[in-house]
Structure 1
Amino acid sequence: MSKRVNISSGSEWEGIIGYSRGVKIGNVIELSGTTAMRNGKLVGEGDPYEQTKCALSIIKESLKEAGAEIKDVVRTRIFMKDISQWEAVGKAHGEVFKDIKPATTILEVSKLISSFFFVDIFNNSNSYFLA
């Protein structure tokens, strides 16, 4: 069996809810949903483009901590409170993934964990170069 590595964000919610920022087993990395919270503060309040950029930046950092890169992402799932904002979210996503082109789904949901969030992004990474 492959070694399991839990990746922590340091958030107080990890202990309360019982989750990790990410989990790596073998060459597979799964990250928890990612919002625009950096150091306990909301980034891009009222701006879905900036929130998406922030979430994707956090995803990049988490992948790096797991020994992977953004190019290793094979799927993204974007949950939005207001699908009419898809172009702003899609623009930020496209700036990061235009050459990688992972499988992607964008969905509208009725609520996210906080009313301040416009977007929550999930991804799957397969890093075949990792031992």
Structure 2
Amino acid sequence: MTRELVTSGSPMEPKIGFSRAVRSGAYLAVAGTAPIGPDGRTSSRGDVYGQTRDCLAIAQRAIEAGGFRIEDVVRTRVMLTDMDRWQEAARAHGEVFGEIRPACTFVGVARFIDPEWLVEIEVDCFRGEP
């Protein structure tokens, strides 16, 4: 079974020792995805819904770069610094996954690397026989 690393091009990947995603056979895991815009700064500041949409868009690009489709997502993990705002994240999640309906967990966390990040998302994909 081959192992393929999917990079976002972030200079942090080699420094920290991680990949945006890793594909191994029929499985693809997307690392914790933060709301980082093309300029390298936090996107949608103060907006849980907007940050969730941004995270999901970044994750979707990694999914596609790994040769998978959004329909192959079987599990998501939504991590929030303020669980009182879970419905904002859930709305964005539902817009992307409403028909796909992967297993999903919402988790409250104390903080992220950047205090402006309100959400991070992990995604797992599996593609069986075509």
Taking structure 2 as the reference length, the TM-score comes to 0.96
Provide the residue aligned with 1:10 in structure 2: 9
Partner secondary structure for residue 56 of structure 2: helix
The question of 1:121 aligning with 2:112 is answered no
Question: Which runs of structure 2 are paired with 1:64-103 in the superposition (5 Å)?
Answer: 64-103=64-103
Q: Report the CA distance between 1:9 and its aligned residue.
A: 0.7
Q: Report the CA distance between 1:129 and its aligned residue.
A: 4.3
Provide the residue aligned with 2:22 in structure 1: 23
Computed over aligned residues only, the root mean square deviation of the Cα atoms, in angstroms, reads: 1.0
Deviating 4+ runs (over 2 angstroms): none
Tell me, in whole angstroms, the C-alpha distance in 1 between the residues paired with 2:33 and 2:3. 21
Could you tell which deviates more after superposition, 95-104 or 39-48?
Answer: 39-48
The question of 1:47 aligning with 2:62 is answered no
Note the residue ranges of structure 2 that are not aligned, 5 or more in a row.
none
Note the residue ranges of structure 1 that are not aligned, 5 or more in a row.
none
Partner secondary structure for residue 37 of structure 1: coil
Provide the residue aligned with 2:56 in structure 1: 56
Output one character per residue of 1:39-65: Cα deviation in whole Å (capped at 9) or x when no partner: 212210000000000000111111111
Partner secondary structure for residue 28 of structure 2: strand
Tell me, in whole angstroms, the C-alpha distance in 1 between the residues paired with 2:122 and 2:112. 13
> How many residue pairs end up in the alignment?
129
Partner secondary structure for residue 122 of structure 2: strand
Taking structure 1 as the reference length, the TM-score comes to 0.95
